[in-house]
A and B are shown apart, each in its own frame.
Chain A
Amino acid sequence: MTIIPDLKLNIKKIKEISGGSSDVLINEFVTGNIHCALLCCEGMLSTATITELVLEPITNIDAKKDSHELFHYIQNYLLLSVDRPEAKNYDSLFRLINSGFAVLIADGINKALAFGVQGYAVRSISEPSGEGNIMGSHEGFVETVRTNMSLIRRRIKSPELVLELFIKGEKSRTDLCLCYMKDRVPPELLKKIHKSLDNIQLETILTTGYIKPFVESNNFELFSSTGTTERPDVLCSKLIEGRVALLIDGVPFSIVIPKLFCENFQTLDDYAFQPYYSTFIRWIKYAAFLISVLLPAVYAAIVIYHPELLNSTLLMLLVDAEQKAPLSIVTESFFVLLMYEIIREAGIRLPKPVGGAVSIVSGLIIGDSAVDSGLISTPLLTMSALAVISGFVIPELNDTVTILRLSFLIAGGIFGLFGISILACAVLVNICSTEDYGFPYTAPLSPFKSAGMDDTAVRAGIQKMQSRNFTVEEYHE
């Protein structure tokens, strides 16, 4: 609905739409002999900024013929703020008010002027909590999309970097920002992502999980084909490779499209250390992933069905330990892994001081007493702990790894290595079928791209990697 030119009716309509909400402030005043009103949302703007930059100059305007002349004067002769959009209907008017703009309406004109004087309380830039790093930047994304945009812009000053702001969410009217390098991004990918985003029909967008289903394929995928990062430097490296990122206002994470399986094992520190050390660390991560998923299952399968794989000393040691435990190996393993998940969940949800206490109770009291009482065998607890700790090496895959670990344990416990092999086939096929926008998740391993091995099997020198101007388009099928 377009804005009503009559000020009184206009204000009445605004109050009606807002339902008399207490935080919508309407300040009526006269300037240039025209009756006006300045609308804002309490707590969303900076009082100092609005007083100094808007209120002071706007109330000292000489008499004007009509409101059109007044708006023309304000727009062309007063530079009250750098961001000065216009609103022609109530939808955009309320979006601006609720985004922290001060909005000016006047008698006799069917539009409104907005001034960007946002000043709501925001969390300051701090170190990312989930993506630890030794040698790189210690800045992480915050909840404000515009701050996050500036964090990216500071790192890529090229005019090729495009930051497209748009709004989604029928009720939340959330700001989203699509980021890409226009000279690197595959045009087809960008087109398809735009199309996917057009299909978003949501009331609210509160986290990345609300958007992901719209930009991922609808097939059942064990591993997510879109990545998330809370580090602006990591995001910049992805943008340079021709990927597309999506920032969401209110979420300190960005979505990266497309994502490849091998990227789960890459961190920014890999590029800070010597290539030979980074290669070593990368293979440690691959091993950690396999240990994390398979170790409890392989342990159960070997001890129950394939003891011939062990040498006699180790076999006797395990037999001796397992004989004392009252439960079967699979039950024991399942119990230990489930207990770990419960303790982990408790540690995350509880306040931090209590979370520390949970660690002490679980680690020292439950763990120690369970072994001492003979309820759980020491080798099994060691294997479970090793598997869990290995999972910490690749935190982004934690959810998938947890489910896979338990599934493989059941398969290995019932069918031995045959069960593990069969389940591994199904998982392998699932990973290989994961593909979004024509980018296979398993590239460059399968389909094999030898050039991609520079940053997968090994970590080649930076000069070599940057000289070939790699973009993700190379993996497109």
Chain B
Amino acid sequence: MDLLNAFVALSNFVLVPAIAYGSQLALGALGVTLIYGILRFSNFAHGDTMAFGTMVVVLVTWLFQSWGISLGPLPTALLALPFGIAGCAALVLLTDRTVYRFYRAQKAKPVILVIVSMGVMFIMNALVRIILGTNEQNFADGERFIIGAREFKKLTGLNEGLAIKTTQGITVITAVIVVALLFWFLNRTRTGKSMRAYSDNEDLALLSGIDPERVVVITWVIVAALATVAGTLYGLDKSYKPFTYFLLLLPIFASAIVGGLGNPLGAIAGGFVIAFSEVTVTYAWKKVLGYLMPESLEPDGLVQLMSTDYKFAVSFAILLVVLLFKPTGLFKGKSV
């Protein structure tokens, strides 16, 4: 019984939130890694691309809600997702046309593109704030829980409750679907193969007749889709506020780099590594250990390695360690 209680407490506060958060990070990191692999620069505007895509989703969701359209127990935002992706794709294609293409034609060094992407980041940042404001927006609706903590306690008779939010379930399912689609696209379709060829060797790809502009456009559209899905899931699960998306940049980059920049599989693994480290390092283990240990050994303190305020420090520390000792990341990406 104690063992079960410990496991349920652990699931409730560590496993479930970390899996959901990890999926969100993985989707974000996939976008970063695709840009790095194919367009060859670190896109600092990614967090704000997510914020922009999500903003479109939020606005369309509100529109649907005002029309009385809903998905029953599921959040209406899922219905608005395609519109968000379209809006976000339009924006990133516009920035590519007006900004990045110029530097690509000049064969600018990656570091210049990084700085350029920072400029783009500030513009997108402002754009979202002008349109939707800086405040927290609530756009989640539908059923809140798959199972609530109180129901779970009643159902099982355990001391500890386990809550799984609908948004957490949706996050994981959507992430699996999106990742499966992406890998199928990259590995099985002609266009996907041409993208990988372009990523491996640009000149060779040109010689074999691959149209580089087409690859670039498709990459941006995929990245916009990934960013919007990641942003919407994060916003549904937690809350939507432009500033928090800007802050997400650090854990997302940490995920992509830990996994190996340019390697999609690594991005996913990196996302979960970062999410689990952030959550486990800042979790107070007292409750779980209290169930597991004999009474005489029960801890007095909270058994918390780091205060929750240092969450970001965890991803930063992991980032540093990886860059120092294994710069190509866990899955042999390109070195940074």
A, B in one complex: no
